[in-house]
Chains A and B, each alone.
Chain A
């Protein structure tokens, strides 16, 4: 796995940089400031947790990092590309090649088998069928789902579904993994299994991970850095002292 071509800054290199990032929504007469002037640098290979209560704006920030949403103002720069300036087509390519996403509700397509779900991003990437099959097997093997290849999501446990989602997120070998409450629908034991996998990808493959969670304990256990959001604003950004190699 190659590391992220980093953005050079006076303070070192960054994988993701947001500057004065804002995302406002209009609800009738009112303007909701979901993200309000957030500036974050995420370094290559770093495991960052975005923490905050419900409605703090952490998922909105993640969607902006994923290129699923566009900022009202400010910028998100990933791999020298300002996401706010990319076309819809370029953003789709960015989501396909640069980032992988896992969600709280797994978001597997219910009518497809595990294999079909995992190989779907490769169809969009126009990977040859023969290569797709071997890569899918390899990815499912890595997350321990070799015995569930032809099962549909409804036939799997929550943990298995999240593992399948993880395999799908990593199938096109992205440099950044964005996880939105990945353990939110799992029991603690299964959640730990999933988080162990995510940490393994981060450590072994040098993958940059940005995880949204509201569980501080989970963030302290796995992330190198914790960023706290409240009412769309960044309120704290500190290294996790419990983790070796955390940046100050």
Chain B
């Protein structure tokens, strides 16, 4: 069976179907992360001790009384991760542009780099998480850490999801280029829209959790 409108635009929307689909999905994602950001604001403004490390944990960590949770997060690592994700957004859009220029070799290069960046991001995130766990810091240690682990954890899952899809498009999925090049280009564009959204979420997570 031929699936309609996966290359040509539907007359009423002016879009191929996958593009409409991904934007509807991203709209739901905005609400998902929006709910978490909203909860973060509510907890932070409602709990006077939200940002402060409790006395017993401060003692255990060997930090001054009144130290903020955000001071315990690793800003240099998160800064590097921000750069990695921004770079991966460029490589992603370059992979799509390569297909538009009918250069599958360049596509493989840029998409491969995107996937390496995604892997790099997760490796750095794992280092960060391991450091927290080894110091006995868990989501249950305080409201701030609960928010931190929930939001960065959900974001990390999105990175892994993107990595899986992008790896498929880089590997076996790229066979479609030989038979239906335009449809494959659209697939890459849609995967790219998702990937840029994941980058966009991190752009807000980084200052909200690490710097403020």
Partners in one complex: no
